[in-house]
Structure 1
Amino acid sequence: MPQRSDQRTRDAVADDLNAPLDDDAESPQPSTRQRLKRRAGGVFSPRTFVYAVLLVGAGLFAGNAFIPLPFVDSLAGLVGAFAGAFALGLAVERGTVLESAAAGALAAGLATVLSHLALTAFGGAGVPLAAVGAGAGAIAGGLGAHFGGDLREGLTQDI
């Protein structure tokens, strides 16, 4: 039952004034910031992105380390990135395509720039090399997560 204004205590007035400032306060209509935060959390998960960076990076490193042939090592690294994203897509229930594509772009772009460091530093080809590496990594990561999630859906679906 609401209190009359002449019966209210100082703490009740202070609570009423501070309530609009609280982000966690239950309001009948959430603010724009709260709605955007909820929608962004449904599309992109930072925790899943960290796992994707670790798995895709490990796959990229393993692919480059175990097939040390010239001109084939970057392709082997992309196969490793695909395998890491595939494992993530297979393990996680929600779709991880966006996180895996971003992780693949980050890992492959960085690996491309670091593997061609002299050309990047002295040749002026750093940005095009990074763009090609990031694009290839994004494609490998996105496809790996898509196919991994597709296999998980097929294995867990009732016949």
Structure 2
Amino acid sequence: TFEQIADFCELHPLEIQAIADGEVANQMQGLDPVANGQTTMEEIERCQADPQARLKLSPQALPQQMFRHKGPRYTPIAKRQDKPDAIAFLLRNYPELLDAQISKLIGTTKPTIAAVRDRTHWNSPNIKPRHPVELGLCTVAELDEALQRARARRRVEEEGLRGDESEPLEA
């Protein structure tokens, strides 16, 4: 029915009827949803038998999810000078983060992190702690994930220390 086609194409049923009657979109080329892999012939036959049924998009027709690769990401030259500021912010506000986590989050090296921490960085007098998300060096989701991992690691370490203290010493 026109309603089934309209629902599948996300158009209004009157638009489908006008296209079918040739009143609008005369130059529009038809598209075979079976040949394009959007649906199957069995799905069309099922909907022809039941006018209340709705056509379903084939799972193969859905686009592949884009996953960001885990390798190093490119940082524009203009933003590279902001990395020490972001490192200083993370060191001051989130001491539970490991150097490796900061390195992965900001895209920098461990020696740079150590230099900012020890104030031996070549630009140390000009470093002003600034939030890495505001600088565009990482996303809020990436920062939150790193903080959750760091806090979970800290909890495990604290529980391990408490467990060691409660055990009696044997001579």
Same fold flag (TM > 0.5): no
Q: Output the TM-score relative to the length of structure 1.
A: 0.27
Higher relative contact order (CA 8 A, sep 6+): 1
Q: Output the TM-score relative to the length of structure 2.
A: 0.26
| Rg (Cα) greater in structure | 2
